[in-house]
Amino acid sequence: MIYNLAFLAFCTGLLLFLWNAPPETTIKLPNDEIHARFHHMKKRDAEAFCIKCHNPKGTAPLPKNHPPKYRCLFCHKVG
């Protein structure tokens, strides 16, 4: 009985934690002409092209406080 109550308390706590999670704020992969071809590629294949434009001297540099740049589509979802 004690194990069942502990399990129920754990599940309730987990549910409340997930329910109160903040909304996703990361920008999705843009659905424009430039990014259209990447929507149909595998993530790893598409990520190989990101650094071409998203570098300090590229056409769309990333902010200085941007997290690691080698896994772009881990955060920026396709969709």
User: Which CATH number belongs to the domain containing residue 63 in this structure?
Assistant: 1.10.1130.20
Range of the domain at 38: 24-79
Residues whose CB falls within 8 Å of the CB of residue 77, separated by 6 or more in sequence, listed in order? 26, 28, 29
Any domain includes 66: yes
What is the per-residue pLDDT for 20? 95
Any domain includes 3: no
What is the per-residue pLDDT for 10? 98
Any domain includes 56: yes
Any domain includes 51: yes
DSSP label at residue 16: H
What is the per-residue pLDDT for 4? 96
Any domain includes 14: no
Q: Model confidence over 38-77: pLDDT tens digits?
A: 999 998 899 899 989 998 888 899 888 888 777 888 889 8
Q: Give the chain's domain count.
A: 1
Q: Closest Cα to residue 53, out of 44, 40, 62, 41? A: 62
